[in-house]
Amino acid sequence: QLGSAGKEGGPLSQDATGVALPADVAEMVRKGEVGSLIGACGVTNFNAFQRIAMNEARVKIPLMVGHDMIHGVMTQAPIPLALACAWDEKTWQDCGRLIAVESPAKGCNWTFTPMVDMCRDPRWGRIAEGPGQDPYLGARMGAAMVKGIQSKAGVMPVASCLKHFAAYGGAEAGRDYNTVEMSESTFRNVYLPPFKAGVEAGALTVMPAFNTLNGAPCSVTKWLLTDILRDHLAFKGFTISDWCGVSECELDHHGMAETHAGLVDLAMDAGMDQDMMAGLYRKELVQLVKDGKVPMAQVDRSVRNILRVKNALGLWENPYIDEAKLASQI
């Protein structure tokens, strides 16, 4: 996944309709080197990038464009911590539905929402983005938000993303990105239920967390991303790292691998389908497959997971945002 803004002050490239796009991003889309973009890019740019993907790339696979829409897009709801206090599933689902209606107006069809991290330490800086400390309440709120976001209420279906898998809110001393140490009982009974409910509600994507869980980085841990998420929770969508989440597992951070190629090998084996922003898959994966270190079956698995989500969104039938319908609906 690549940022949609391109390099600051970089050259522009015009598509067939004269829309000016960041040349570096447009070229990567044209070469089929990215499957999604991050950052609200506007309706005109969304459609222009999509035309390149659908008409000029070797493989005609439509793009997804994701962005954080934590508690609304144009219509702002209370922060999730306050929304949880409403104890009202209809309100939560309506908030998700508004995100579904308004996200296309920003040039997005994917939102990195809801955040269902449990947190029992108010010092944690991201506590405002989640439903608080109670796993039952968090599970009900997260599931309702997923249903609202994926209600297909807008001019283009929008995918939700459960984050951050898992136990991100259990950071020691409430310090963001800090290590997390907990018993398996606490993990399964407090931190896992909201994700289970979100998966059962149909969440199409999941974002693994930055943190380590009992010494293992969530981004490259097979027990978490395959044994728990895929096998235990029966998740069928695709996983995407947090911002440079795979590259931050390098030796001087978590000691998992000495090279970027080694990290890609670990991440693919663990079940990380998409690499956000770091570009490690784009740079390293081809050679790893050629060298026989990453089996083609792993690549096929991740590609299949991503294509399944894009198909569920109906992107081949409806790849563009209808600006006339959008204006009427907004």
The pLDDT averaged over each successive group of 10 residues in the chain (330 residues) is 68 65 89 91 94 95 96 95 96 97 97 97 94 98 98 97 97 93 98 98 97 94 98 98 89 67 95 95 96 98 98 98 93
> Within a 10 A sphere around the Cβ of 258, how many other Cβ atoms?
11
Compute the 3-state secondary structure of the chain and give helix, strand, coil in percent, each to the nearest 5.
45, 10, 45
- Residues with catalytic roles: 242
* Nearest CA among 142, 144, 200, 194 for reference residue 165: 194
Which residues fall within 8 angstroms of residue 133, CB to CB, at 6 or more apart?
Answer: 118, 119, 120
Distance, in Å, from the CA atom of 308 to the CA atom of 235, rounded to the nearest integer, reads 12
At which residue do the structure tokens 């109906």 appear? 314
Query: Would you say how long the chain is, in residues?
Result: 330
Q: Give bridge partners of residue 14 from the DSSP assignment.
A: 20
Structure-block tokens of residue 42:
């506007």
What's phi and psi for 212, nearest 5 deg? -90, 145
Which uninterrupted H or E stretch holds 283?
A: helix 280-290
Query: In whole angstroms, what is the distance from residue 167 CA to residue 222 CA?
Result: 16
Phi-psi region of 77 (alpha: psi -120 to 50; beta: other; left: phi over 0): beta
Say what the pLDDT of residue 197 is.
98
pLDDT value at position 254? 55
- Report the C-alpha gap between 298 and 285 in whole angstroms: 11
In the prediction, which pLDDT does 3 show? 80
pLDDT for the residue 19: 74
CA dist 156 and 105 (Å) reads: 10
Q: How far apart are CA 113 and CA 20, in angstroms?
A: 30
Predicted TM-score (pTM) of this structure: 0.94
- What is the token pair recorded at 2? 């690549």
What was the pLDDT predicted at 306?
98
pLDDT at 52: 95
**Distance of alpha carbon 1 from alpha carbon 9, whole angstroms:** 21
CB atoms within 10 A of CB 286: 12
- Rounded Cα–Cα distance for residues 77 and 98 (Å): 9
Pair 66, 108: CB distance under 8 Å: yes
